[in-house]
Amino acid sequence: MTGTLSSQGHSFLTPGGVEIVFVLVGLAVLGAALLTVTTRQLVHAALWLVVALGGLAIEYLLLTAEFIAWVQVLIYLGSVVVLVLFGLMLTKAPIGISADADSGNRWVALGVAVAAAATLVTLVVDAFRCTWIDLAVGDGSTRANGSTLFRYWVLPFEALSVLLLAALVGAVVISRRHREER
Amino acid sequence: MHLVYPAVLAALLFCVGLYGVLARRNAVLVLMSVELMLNAVNLNLVAFDVWLRDTLHAGQALTLFTITIAAAEIGLGLAIVLMVFRTHGTADVDRLRTLAEGADSIASATDSPTKSGAAAAPQGKATAA
């Protein structure tokens, strides 16, 4: 795999500092994600999700997508995880170790996940093994994102705001307690 | 940076989320695994946008849209889980088999009240019995 890849001054054998940091943070993200889906304490799963999503924000920063990174921190770490914690508490999730956090088909799920991982990783490595990203030009600033978003993507942006409003109203209507039926 | 690093990380993260969706029993944990899968897609979008550098900035704009849709999805999903918990007394996805085939026999067997479900769902037990 690393045979003829030293073209254009790039090589697997001499990774740059950004690549090393990316791999280390990626390992942390993967470990936190694995703990999220395997831990038996439900609240700890939400807290490991914070680690995984925060690590992904660092990966976005390393990929020079700084605006996406801060949006990730704001929305995922700020609101989604808090919503998940609220959901865990409102559904009276047990605080300690719960023995039945995994359902009976976890070995089937493990097989499916390992097969999908092997297929996807083989495919991706085979497809992009000679492709390098040029990280020199930083194009993920708020200015660049805002100008493209409001110049080319205005209509999807506005439609998305309507969808967000509809989801908000729908969530309120669904979770409202009905007075006389229940 | 080599493109394989973010692509492989995204693929592995997606598969971890896939395992979580299939293996978890609590519905809130299933939603958390869905979030992991969506984040894998976001990482792919950002990496390929940084690689391709198109003028429309499609990857990062679509990442913003995906993050927004994920926020809407988790809000609605948690509202639905909350409503299911109120009516059934449980948020375990493999105990919710009211719509399964042969639901009458299974419902009478599995709708036995859990500790919290006894107070929360007297109506559901009365109709099931």
pLDDT (tens digit, 9 = 90+) per residue, B60-80? 999 999 999 999 999 999 999
Domains of chain A: total: 1
Residue B106 domain-assigned (yes or no): no
Residue B36 domain-assigned (yes or no): yes
Q: Do B50 and A140 touch (CB under 8 A)?
A: yes
* Mean pLDDT to the nearest integer, A111-125: 95
**Distance (Å, whole) CA A156 – CA B2:** 32
- Kindly identify which residue of chain A lies nearest to residue B9, measuring between CA atoms: A26
The total of other beta-carbon atoms located within 10 Å of residue B86's CB is 17
- The ipTM (two decimal places) reads 0.86
Write out chain A in H/E/C secondary structure.
CCCCCCHHHCCCCCCCHHHHHHHHHHHHHHHHHHHHHHCCEHHHHHHHHHHHHHHHHHHHHHCCCHHHHHHHHHHHHHHHHHHHHHHHHHCCCCCCECCCCECCCHHHHHHHHHHHHHHHHHHHHHHCCCCECCCCCCCCCHHHHHHHHHHCCHHHHHHHHHHHHHHHHHHHHHHCCCCCCC
Domains of chain B: total: 1
Q: Which one of A71, A135, A175 has the shortest CB-CB distance to B64? A: A71
Tell me the percentage of chain A whose pLDDT exceeds 70.
88
Give, for B21, the enclosing helix (H) or strand (E): helix B4-23
**Distance (Å, whole) CA B11 – CA A72:** 19
**Distance (Å, whole) CA A72 – CA B25:** 27
* CATH number of residue A61's parent domain: 1.20.120.1200
Residue A25 domain-assigned (yes or no): yes
Residue B116 domain-assigned (yes or no): no
Tell me the percentage of chain A whose pLDDT exceeds 90.
54
**Full residue range of the structural domain in which residue B58 is found:** 4-96
For the cut 50, the answer to whether the pLDDT of residue A35 exceeds it is: yes
Residue A181 domain-assigned (yes or no): no
Q: Which one of B9, B23, B28 has the shortest CB-CB distance to A84? A: B28
- Around B21, how many Cα atoms within 13 Å sit in the side-chain half-sphere? 15
Q: Which one of A37, A53, A182 has the shortest CB-CB distance to B33? A: A37
**Distance (Å, whole) CA B44 – CA B61:** 13
* Mean pLDDT to the nearest integer, A66-79: 92
Q: Do A101 and B33 touch (CB under 8 A)?
A: no
Q: Exposed, middle or buried, B128 (CB in 10 Å: 0-12/13-18/19+)?
A: middle
The pLDDT score that the predictor gives to residue A11 is 64
Give, for B33, the enclosing helix (H) or strand (E): helix B27-52
Distance (Å) from the alpha carbon of A74 to chain B's nearest alpha carbon: 11
User: For residues B67 and A72, is the Cβ–Cβ distance under 8 A?
Assistant: yes
Residue A1 domain-assigned (yes or no): no
Decide which of A148 and A11 is more confident.
A148
Residue B80 domain-assigned (yes or no): yes
Distance (Å) from the alpha carbon of B93 to chain A's nearest alpha carbon: 9
Q: Which of A19, A35, A103, A163 to mutate to test the interface with B (most CBs of B within 10 A)?
A: A103
- Kindly identify which residue of chain B lies nearest to residue A135, measuring between CA atoms: B1
**Full residue range of the structural domain in which residue A102 is found:** 9-175
The pLDDT score that the predictor gives to residue A137 is 65
pTM tops 0.90: no
pLDDT tens string A51-60: 999 999 999 9
- Chain A CB contacts of B11 below 8 Å: 117, 120-121, 124
| Residues of chain B below pLDDT 50 | 111-129
Residue B83 domain-assigned (yes or no): yes
Residue A3 domain-assigned (yes or no): no
Distance (Å) from the alpha carbon of A80 to chain B's nearest alpha carbon: 6
* CATH number of residue B88's parent domain: 1.10.287.3510
**Distance (Å, whole) CA A7 – CA A127:** 17
- Chain B CB contacts of A14 below 8 Å: none
Distance (Å) from the alpha carbon of A125 to chain B's nearest alpha carbon: 6
Residue B111 domain-assigned (yes or no): no
The pLDDT score that the predictor gives to residue A138 is 64
**Distance (Å, whole) CA A48 – CA A50:** 5
Residue B125 domain-assigned (yes or no): no
- Chain B CB contacts of A15 below 8 Å: 2
Decide which of A43 and A100 is more confident.
A43
Distance (Å) from the alpha carbon of B66 to chain A's nearest alpha carbon: 10
Residue B114 domain-assigned (yes or no): no
Q: How confident is the model at residue A91 (pLDDT cuts 50, 70, 90)?
A: confident
Residue A182 domain-assigned (yes or no): no
Residue A53 domain-assigned (yes or no): yes
